[in-house]
Amino acid sequence: MRTEIGPAGDEDERYAVRPIPGSRATKPYRCPGCDQEIMSGVAHVVVWPVDRIGGPDDRRHWHTGCWSGRGTRKLTRRWS
Ligand SMILES: [Zn+2]
């Protein structure tokens, strides 16, 4: 599993990132990066704060491209 810096750009807050292949994306999710739906069947990433209480229970599904560009655009929704 890899960890990356989150949307806030804070080095101390790491997020676990796991790719979800399209074949495993069985229902739609709301991407916090663009506030659009990730349609079922579309490969994307699931992300959660590594050190925060809640951990994997606090995970969010992101479009792959939205997660990659998270530092250059604002979140449309709060994480929590
Ligand atoms: Zn998105």
Residue 69 Cα to ligand 1 middle (Å): 10
Three-class secondary structure of residue 26 per DSSP: coil
Phi, psi of 49 (to 5 degrees): -70, 130
Bridge partners of 4?
A: 15
Give the domain ranges of the chain. 2-72
Residue 70 Cα to ligand 1 middle (Å): 9
Residue 63 Cα to ligand 1 middle (Å): 4
Specify the pLDDT at position 76. Answer: 56
**How many angstroms separate the CA atoms of 47 and 59, rounded?**
5
Q: Chunked in runs of 10, what are the mean pLDDT values of the chain (80 residues)? A: 81 89 96 94 94 76 92 59
Specify the pLDDT at position 58. Answer: 80
